[in-house]
Amino acid sequence: MTALNRRFSTAPMMDWSDSHCRFFWRQLSRQALLYTEMVTTGALIHGNRERFLQYHDIEHPIALQLGGSNPDELAQCARFAQDWGYDEVNLNVGCPSDRVQNNMIGACLMGHPPLVADCVKAMRDSCDIPVTVKHRIGIDDQDSYEHMRDFVATVAEAGCEVFIVHARKAILQGLSPKENREVPPLKYDYVYRLKQELPQLEILLNGGLKTHEESLQCLQHLDGVMVGREAYQNPGILLDVDALYFESAAAAPKPPVSKADVIRRLYPYIEEQLGKGATLHHISRHTLGLFNAQKGARLYRRHLSENAHKKGAGPEVMEQALAFVE
């Protein structure tokens, strides 16, 4: 199995990083590792599995993120991930929402390192693809560097070799998920120190990264970076990812691609998805930030926001929107 290159990845984001979004992102970067939205074990075991797991081949390399805390159920879902061809399966130990806490999912698991280790071991025993963990630097008053290091060390003993660290702690009571992405301070130094003390592990940093300059600086200390909101709200930054982060891509000459070309590449996919019952809005909403700071960007967004949800809307609506920015 070819080792995954995790120097740059996009974050799992509920309601954002769905398959339509990832297909769009793949027009911007061929090499970034793309993560799905978090899917709970219950949804996969008892729900419409195909709806949650289907993706387009172009999305590779792609990682499935799972939410759960039952080792047997996670093992079953890790096997699903392998059977569906995912390149990695990731366990969410970072989501702070009340809804998932009540089901013992997400950041609250940082208070239970042995359970997370049991989950990882069960997942690794059930599949051959990499099993990784995405976590916070701490929760509530369990927020010392030592607490995070001990958590990682315990889970690493179960065979996990890749940790994606959201460099903020989670406050489980009193802050909304949105506030938990913004209020607790970023502590990149915790993540750098973790890599120094556990150099055998692959350590990636997530949280607050907005520019390639910041990300490349982090890579002087770490193995990879994961970008979330900035990649979604300003997706044009992904156009530079292959050349900046992946040597094979940097060495290969490629024709310059315009943002308008990126949109037009979506037209066959849009037609295909409309035939399957999607609306244009399901796809076009992910492109709204592509032309940020360009003349006509506001009109592009407005045209799509007003027209993409209408019955029968298709690529011609995208083409009309492009007229405002070309």
Q: Are 323 and 300 in contact (CB under 8 A)?
A: no
CA 257 to centroid of chain Cα atoms:
24
- Whether the bond into 61 is cis, omega within 30 of 0: yes
Question: Residues 6 or more apart from 182 whose CB is under 8 A from it?
Answer: none
Type of residue at 62: I
Tokens of 51: 């709806």
Question: Residues 6 or more apart from 102 whose CB is under 8 A from it?
Answer: none
Q: Which of 21, 95, 160, 218 is catalytic?
A: 95
Active site residue 95: yes
Strands 162-166 and 88-93: unpaired
Whether the CA torsion 325, 276, 83, 46 is positive or negative: it is positive
Question: Residues 6 or more apart from 183 whose CB is under 8 A from it?
Answer: 171, 175
Identify the CA nearest to 222 among candidates 240, 206, 246: 206
Q: Are 101 and 144 in contact (CB under 8 A)?
A: no
Identify the CA nearest to 185 among candidates 170, 163, 205, 203: 170
How far apart are alpha carbons 271 and 14 in whole angstroms?
A: 25
CB-side neighbour CA atoms (13 Å) of 200: 7
Kindly list the catalytic residues.
95
